[in-house]
Chains A and B, each alone.
Chain A
Amino acid sequence: MTTNPPEASLRPFGKPSVRWRLAVLALGAVVAAGIVAWVVQLRGGMGVAGYNDHAFWAIYIADVITFIGVSYGGAVVSAILRLTGATWRAPLTRLAEGTAVVTVLIGSALIIPHIGNPILLWELLARPNLSAPVFWDFVAVMTYTFASIVFFALPLVPDMAALHGGHAKQLGRGRTLLYAVISKGWVGAPKQRRVLAGALGLVSIMIIPLAVSVHSVLAWAFATTSRPWWHESIWAPQFVVAALYSGVALVILVVAGFRRGYHLEGLINERHFVRLGFILATFSAGYLYFTFADLLPGSYVGEPGVGAMFTKLLVGDLAAWFWLFAIAGGVLPLLLVAMPWTRNIKGMVLAATLIVPMMWLKRMLMVTGPASYDTITGAFGSYNFTWVPITITLAALAAIPLLLMLLFRVVPLMSIDEIEEIQEIEEIEGIIKEEKAGTAASRGGSSEAADDDARLVGATGGSHRIAGATGVLLLVALLGMLGVGGAAPADAATSQGPGAITIKAVEAGGSVQLSAMLFDSGGLPLGDQPVVFAFATKQFGPKEGLVSLGSVKTDPTGTAKLTYKPTVVQESQKFVVSYAATADAKPVTAETSIKVTSAQSAYRPGPPKPLAGAGKILVVALFAIVASIWLTLGAQVVRVRRVCRPVRKAATSNA
């Protein structure tokens, strides 16, 4: 048992134990099996993973959400605790940040089996569609990954400097070289410390809105569709809380594992677990509340889609799984923290062990339920588990400890510098306290924050939706109306059969005036009879089709008129008029063809999509925000490197 952070950090660098080798071998075998399963899926198509048209999203996207979600533990334990000055975090930060980096990388990699045609994944960078939530998912995940790596890497500089000097034997050649490069020029000068603290403060402020953005955009990939239970405004915040919840749980598991494996009991004790447990309880209560708030309104109103979905979820064939989550993933962990006799390391580890798989289960329900709902028939399809996705999921799970074990073979397990800094502060505070011992001694968490940067105010996050409502000018189409001659009283002549019909077409002012004359067999005009006008089209095939323009009654002079607005400019447009005295009589027809020189499309576009313009402004704003985040993060790395430079020059000139 040790309380010396450098010594603890060097411990994984020694000759690996048999247990370590066996563990790596076993975990490596599971990961290899996952890769085999993925190759099988690539060859056979996603059908071998149990997907079908009525379960188009399922296990892999649930895995992506779960793995990227658990990486939030790093953000919480490190960033929030750093910003709130919780000094007890110090021995946990490196493990938490390492877990964050490893899990976000695995989570991003799980997008690959989720995609049907992964060979084209580069298109997300090369030819993205900026109106797609999935593209912004990708941007958010990449930005968050970059921030996680920066947040993980910056504190390595002083730690590696601390180990580099004087531990060459334990480090070995490879690590000595690596540490020399990374910590080059770091001497721990006050200016260097100030710059590093400033950079870390800024990154820890930035990483919080970034973490929020990732799970929000993931949720919006679902919520921006019209499917029941996905199309919910609460999904984004609910996703964020879910991620924080499962993230803290995974940190507990990782810390417990490394504490046991490398005997870090002297540095990490029950106090740490219980405090993490309190954070867990907060998120547990929060997530239960969000779940209730998510389900209540839809269940209450009972619209067909949401009603069917929630019936299946709460009392139908998914009910067993849902209530298993609610009890084992929400209520039990809360109780384990709440009850004093389970509020210990074992209790917290048990709670975390329940939470991680149960949160995966919840995501699985949230993804697969609505994805299997047919919005036309209201029936549910089903996702069929096969060995392929299960193996890939287990491989991703095994990759967490595997990558962490390998990672901490290379980088120090403890944030040595941070621990020592906090110890110094606590010692100084202890001295101050002793000096003031005349007054009543106060016990308890009095540790002031290490001066983590209140002066740095992050300019990050928050995107503004500019909801500029645009006025739409509506024009009403003016219809050319034709006055139809009032029918004169019928005279005896109407009883005579039709003799002839004539048609005349004249183009004038963008429309065609059609007029027909109807005569009876005696050559007299035939009034009050319906004649049918039509035009001919060859648009759908070489065979001419006659398109009826409607029937018009003739006036007492035997004339019928109709105005037609042509839709196509044509060399020769044929018009036909016909008249049949009775339904089964042979009609008399007449036709004429004229040249149509002006035409107007009959198509009237529908109203534009609401807020389409605002969407574009949002996209431009988002790009500006993302670019500034990347630049700021990169600048922090440069800043820390630069502050090391003058010292390095001085050192080399001395040598």
Chain B
Amino acid sequence: MQSHTPSPDEGPAGPPPGAAPTEGPGLSRRNLLATLGVAATGGALALVSYRDEAQAATKPKAGPVPKKAQHAWCMVIDLRMCDGCKICTTSCQTRHSLREEQTWIKVYDMEDSTGGTFPMPRPCMMCENPPCMYVCPVGATLRTDEGLVLVDTDSCVGSRACMAACPYEARYFNWTEPLPAKKMPMPNTPQMPVAKKGTVGKCVLCADRLPQGELPACVQGCPMGVLYIGDLVTDVAVNSFGKTVLLSEFLKANDAVRFKEEQGTNPRVYYILGHGQDLGGEA
């Protein structure tokens, strides 16, 4: 049992407004297909997409009334604990058979305003408004209803428009023949992509593991418990130590921030700032 010490007179229940932005009932956006369908070309346009909202990754088309998402995956990165060992990067590269320079989760040496540096892991931010998805000319980047931004490498033409658009430099191209898969061969899915020459790749938050309740490779590998995989729906997050926290309260109590908030991307990765200090919080 972990001790949890917010100020005792504070009511702990309910999602704090600070962690998740103000609630808005999603504007009733109609699929563009519906609009174009009026133009009497229905069938031929079935494959046309207008990528501005979540798609079901497994099926080409979502049902007429999308079921309410069971999960909203996110990540919390507690920088207070990070010592920059880069085991997250290597764990990821092993699992996804990546080259050394393909750092789907990359540990940057960031400079603070006093001239010091601190390590900062950067996975895919799984933006709720993903710029990479809007610019893909063939709709190969998609966003699942659970909030995972994934790439269908069977459709990717390799335009690299997504690499231009990503404000987090989180996308990596297969400029040459990719390394052979280390694990047993699996079918190529957006959730567990098989790298292909001439297509783009990026962090998938180990989307194939999450439904099984398994941790992403980076989270599992982190020896410091820096990385938490979380679910905004169930309001739970966990790190490699098995430390399980009430996500909204954890973010609020530790003044979590998001990277490049000004880009309007609504990233689903939260950072808890600090560098090894004991702030008297959760750590």
A positions within 8 Å CB-CB of B: 44-48, 51-53, 56-57, 114-118, 120-121, 123-124, 126-135, 138, 221-222, 224-227, 230, 371, 374-377, 470, 472-482, 484, 511, 530, 532-534, 537-543, 545-553, 562-565, 567-568, 576, 578, 580, 583, 587, 589, 601-610, 612-613, 615-616, 619-620, 623
Contacts and interface: CB of A to CB of B under 8 A. Distances in A.
A538 B172 CA distance: 34
Contacts of B3: 532, 548, 551, 580, 583
A523 to B, nearest CB: 24
Given A538-B213, A604-B20, A620-B32, 17 more contacts: A45-B176, A56-B164, A116-B160, A116-B199, A130-B49, A134-B161, A221-B161, A222-B164, A539-B231, A545-B242, A545-B243, A547-B235, A550-B10, A550-B13, A602-B15, A606-B129, A620-B35
Nearest to A606: B266
Contacts of A612: 27, 29, 52
Given A131-B52, A470-B27, A605-B128, A115 B159 contact: yes
Nearest to B161: A134
12 contacts: A44-B176, A46-B173, A116-B197, A117-B157, A118-B158, A128-B139, A129-B134, A549-B249, A602-B248, A603-B232, A610-B264, A619-B50
Contacts of A532: 1, 3-4
Contacts of B29: 608, 612-613
A576 B1 CA distance: 10
B155 interface: yes
A608 B21 CA distance: 11
A135 B137 contact: yes
A474 B157 contact: no
A120 B156 contact: yes
B12 interface: yes
B224 interface: no
A567 B155 contact: no
A530 B1 CA distance: 14
Contacts of B14: 477-480, 565
Interface SS majority for chain B:
loop
Interface of B: 1-6, 8-17, 20-27, 29, 32, 35-36, 47-52, 68-69, 72, 101-102, 108, 122, 128-129, 131, 134-139, 155-161, 163-165, 167-169, 172-177, 196-200, 213-215, 229, 231-236, 238, 242-249, 263-264, 266
A129 B49 contact: yes
A480 B13 CA distance: 7
A134 B137 contact: yes
A588 to B, nearest CB: 11
Nearest to A567: B234
A472 B27 contact: yes
Nearest to A548: B4
B128 A47 contact: no
Contact of B17 (A51, A477, A548): A477
Contact of B176 (A47, A530, A623): A47
Contact of B138 (A124, A545, A565, A610): A124
Contacts of B242: 541, 543, 545
Q: Which 6 A-B pairs have the closest CB atoms?
A: A116-B158, A550-B12, A545-B244, A116-B198, A47-B175, A602-B235
A620 B35 CA distance: 8
Given A120-B138, A230-B164, A532-B4, A616 B50 contact: yes
B173 A224 contact: no
Contacts of B234: 537, 539, 567-568, 602
Contact of A130 (B5, B25, B32, B177): B32
A590 to B, nearest CB: 12
Contact of A129 (B1, B139, B168): B139
Given A118-B157, A225-B164, A132 B137 contact: yes
Contacts of B21: 604, 606-607
Contacts of A45: 174-177, 197-198
Contacts of B48: 127-128, 130
B236 A539 contact: yes
Given A603-B20, A608-B24, A616-B50, A482 B11 contact: yes
A230 B245 CA distance: 42
B172 A53 contact: yes
A376 B169 contact: yes
B129 A609 contact: yes
A514 B187 CA distance: 47
Q: Which of B2, B138, B155, B232 is packed against the most chain A CB atoms within 10 Å?
A: B138
Given A45-B177, A548-B245, A120 B157 contact: yes
A469 to B, nearest CB: 12
Contacts of B50: 129-131, 616, 619
B236 A131 contact: no
A225 B32 CA distance: 23
Contact of B8 (A44, A371, A553): A553
A534 B1 contact: yes
Contacts of B24: 472-475, 605, 607-608
B107 to A, nearest CB: 11
